Amino acid sequence: MVTGDGERTAVEEQREVAVVIGGGGGLGAATSHRLAQAGTHVCVVDIAADPAQRVAAGLVADGFSASSHVCDVTSSAAVDLLAAGVAERFGAPRVLVNLAGAVRNAVLAKITDADFELVLGTHLVATLHTVRAFAPAMKERGYGRIVNTSSVAARGVVAGISYGAAKGGIEALTRSAAIELAKHGVTVNCVEPGVVATGMFLSTPGEFQRSQIAQIPAGRPGRPEEIAACIAFLASRDASYVTGQTLTVCGGLSVGALR
């Protein structure tokens, strides 16, 4: 169903709403599609209009319900406006997925303050903004699913101090938020992917890609759809007794260091 700017239909009134932050990327598109398959209206959010519109239009063309939204999630004011706008138009979301991110890798001696702040802002601070903005309505309704995104880089990675620090912070934020929100029926979990065959990884030099894949016991990078399936589980009613957890989805990378 195409969701327009007019009044919501009875079907739309009953449909659950999910907000996918960073929905214009490869993992965002896969996650949006997986959530839409469950009959959810997906609000595809990205900092740029074109990627969000492309993903939302693709979902609508496949017969699903979706809308596109532009938001700079590093701005708390912009996120607050997004939350209010989504609630007014579609109803309070029951699912929030955080996938926004940026990479500015450098070895310790070459990290700049600007790059470090950009990476932490886009990952960690933005996650705070969205969780803080969308959680109150979930608490009020007594139900909600929040899924954040970390990375195996949180365990330590060469030339990845900014990225690893941001992702480690997200895992800590997830645990603390889960403790606060559990009694309100709201779960907060985190997915920790390894190497995934999306634009970020595929844009790196071939030699680097081969060296990374060689470390993965499964012998290949993950597919976006595989990560999206784990996100969809944590965002579902079936995961009602799972909260404050980080699910590592890495083809064995996190346990294969001593092969």
Identity of residue 259: R
In angstroms, what is the C-alpha Rg of the chain?
18
* Annotation says 241 is catalytic: no
251: left (phi over 0), alpha (psi -120 to 50) or beta: left
Residues 6+ apart with CB under 8 A from 14: none
Among 163, 192, 224, 251, the active-site one is: 163
CA–CA distance, 144 with 105 (Å, rounded to integer): 34
CA 68 to chain centre: 15
| DSSP notation for 207-257 | HHHHHHHTT-TTSSPBPHHHHHHHHHHHTSGGGTT--S-EEEESTTGGG-T
Catalytic residues: 163
